[in-house]
Structure 1
Amino acid sequence: EGSWAYLLLFGTLYPAYYSYKAVKTKNVKEYVRWMMYWIVFALYTVVETITDLTLAWFPLYYELKIAFVIWLLSPYTRGASLIYRKCLHPLLSSREREIDDYIVQAKERSYETMVNFGRQGLSIAATAAVTAAVKASVLRYVLFGTSPSVFTNK
């Protein structure tokens, strides 16, 4: 299917270029319009991932996806603005505190995970370094008959 190319072009590249133009010209009205689009498109991408697995068999599924994305970004239908204002903004506003708390908790957990991962990495590296030093010292003893420096501190 070539529908992914159309979705990439219409759903991502076209809006990205017009978002760039809105930022460049500092056109607040267009900037807000494209921010609403990207918020809705992020939700669409999550839903699309699930529906691609479950509804891809449906006749005209890919054509409907393309039509939906064009409806979202069309300046005539203002689909993204409609979905944002009627659904997403009220939902996000009512759950904003919970979402913020969850993000803070996720950041704390990810920081703790990274610290633990770093500690484990350092421990593994130290063990590998000591093992390599012992092996090199023992190998030198076997090959050259010199006393292993690991045992004599030389």
Structure 2
Amino acid sequence: MRDIFLFSCFTGLAYVDVLQLSRADISRGIDGEKWVVKKRQKTDTPSRIPLLPTALKILEKYKDHPQCLNEGKLLPVLSNQKMNAYLKEIADLCGISKPLTFHIARHTFATTVTLLNGVPMESVSKMLGHTNLRTTQHYAKILDIKVSEDMRMLKDKFKI
């Protein structure tokens, strides 16, 4: 369960898209590296995501998993209800009061993994399979820390 959640944190894929992920959804990108290339279930919009090292390690870990081999999937995904129940239990054990759901992984990819590390919003939007930039801008609203860091660099340039 942890690995599936982390995979989503490093790809931005929604639960249903991780559930349906098969070998056919992995291909070589323009850079020669492995990418997830699939249409999002929710919007039927193409999503193209270069795989980061952590995501690749998780895929490698499960390549010979019996459930994956039997179902033709890349990861042994539990039901969304089970995943969220386990995440709630983890949150309780860790003293996290914020509701912890599988969708938080997608949010983490959009904010912590990409936007806070300087990936342009247009690229994040494309990887998330959003149909317009406004949807992605919702994630960016909470990133005042990024704005602060960007402006600190600008202030340094203007120092006398």
TM-score, normalised with respect to structure 2: 0.29
Structure with higher RCO (Cα < 8 A, 6+ apart): 2
Structure with the larger strand share: 2
Question: So what's the TM-score if we normalise by structure 1?
Answer: 0.30
More helix by share: 1
